[in-house]
Structure 1
Amino acid sequence: MTAATPFVTPVTLRQHGVRLEPLAPSHEAGLRAAAADGELWKIRVTSVPEPQDTRAYIDTALQMRADGHRFAFAVVDEASGTVLGSTSYHDIVPVIRRVEIGYTWYRQSVQRTHVNTTCKLLMMGHAFDTLGCAVVGWRTDNFNFASQRAIERLGARRDGVIRHHALRRDGTVRDTVMYSMTAGEWPEAKAQLLYLLKQRTQH
């Protein structure tokens, strides 16, 4: 990695019929349809764009990518080409080899399926095994209990709570729950995720 080469470079990751590909303007219609599956923008503890804001959401992600702070993926069903949602590496700090995984959301019809586990396995594997990260972090709204449970199922440890930390879409200010996993914890977490994925994809 040189000064001219970003820490996270474009890559497409795939497993179990799920493909993570760099988010691009061509995903606009697919993302809008994914968000409409469950009207996800109405959930106050998520970052899902409203339909008319989908292009701006992509433009913001691409600008953050250019600035080196975030790398966003579209989550795509390999068989049909349907966009299932989006997820990102963010708060990328190359000097300490740290990334966080977030800005994650999926159309309602694939929630509580193997999709999230597959995406996290792909992103954690790429972060630890390819990028050589020392730590991967997560952050979530203190009232997003489903997200907290999902992060804990990955094997991440709860670091603590940052109070009065970020603005929600409804204008209220959230506390942020922080989690992390170190490179030394990854092999055990990977084994557990592979086991969970096997259970989910056998049915």
Structure 2
Amino acid sequence: MIEPRPIVLEYRGIRLEPLTEEHLPGIAKAASDGELWKLWFTAVPTPDGVRKWFEFAMEGLKAGHMLPWAVRELASGEIVGSTRYHDIIAPVDRVEIGYTFYAQSRQRSSVNTTCKLMLMMHAFDTLGCKVVGWRTDNFNFRSQRAIEALGAKKDGVIRHSQARKDGTVRDTVMYSVLASEWPDVKRHLELRLARNASRE
């Protein structure tokens, strides 16, 4: 049975640091880069909502079903986003990756691929997960494309499954990577990052 615990992960110039109160100014700044909270199909905190967002993450950590990180870009030293494991189901060795956002200036860069590769390496290679999952809003087409580009398979759509922040109800698109698929997915992502690095 997996036992996810706070840990620092670092790879290719990106560090995932266990989320603490000291990260909140950086989180607020990252969310403000592009005013990401205005996207109605995401759950990015507003500048004055970062404290409540943090407390929710800490409640999930304490309850054992969330493991949140701040994303630091080592070259600049800046916090450029956040991500976490959630819906951790230890008895079946499953975690999901989500609650992810990056400053708009870091989107369409290698940051997301690097973070996802780190999180999957930790989940599969260290924790021994049997499956890693993702879920996203049916209208978050960019997120769906990004998840599919990782090599995840679409499991299906849960209709009328969750309230959005504006009170409407979303359909949720579910994805996953199985442990048996992980070697090929890992090779694909490492090659993708190597190609991106050669262009820089």
Q: Which residue of 2 aligns with 1:106?
A: 102
Q: Which residue of 1 aligns with 2:193?
A: 197
- Percentage of identical aligned residues: 56
Question: How many Å apart are 1:79 and its aligned residue?
Answer: 2.5
Amino acid in the other structure paired with 1:34: A
Q: Which residue of 1 aligns with 2:146?
A: 150
Q: Which residue of 2 aligns with 1:91?
A: 87
- Cα distance in 1 for residues equivalent to 2:122 and 2:88: 14
- Cα distance in 2 for residues equivalent to 1:161 and 1:69: 22
Alignment of 1:25-40 (within 5 A): 25-40=21-36
Gaps of 5+ in 1: none
Question: How many Å apart are 1:11 and its aligned residue?
Answer: 0.7
Q: Which residue of 1 aligns with 2:161?
A: 165
- Cα distance in 2 for residues equivalent to 1:55 and 1:197: 34
Deviations 1:106-137 (A, max 9, x none): 00000000000000000000000000000000
Gaps of 5+ in 2: none
TM-score, reference length from structure 1: 0.96
Deviations 1:128-186 (A, max 9, x none): 00000000000000000110011001111000000001111111100000001100000
Amino acid in the other structure paired with 2:167: G
Aligned length: 199
Alignment of 1:1-203 (within 5 A): 7-202=3-198, 203=200
SS in structure 1 opposite 2:17? strand
Deviations 1:41-65 (A, max 9, x none): 0001111001101011111101110
Deviations 1:65-104 (A, max 9, x none): 0000100000001133211000000000010000000000
Amino acid in the other structure paired with 1:158: K
Amino acid in the other structure paired with 1:70: M
- Cα distance in 2 for residues equivalent to 1:199 and 1:142: 30
Runs (4+) off by over 4 Å: none
- Cα distance in 1 for residues equivalent to 2:174 and 2:85: 15
The alignment yields a C-alpha RMSD, in angstroms, of 1.0
- Cα distance in 2 for residues equivalent to 1:151 and 1:67: 27
Amino acid in the other structure paired with 1:178: M
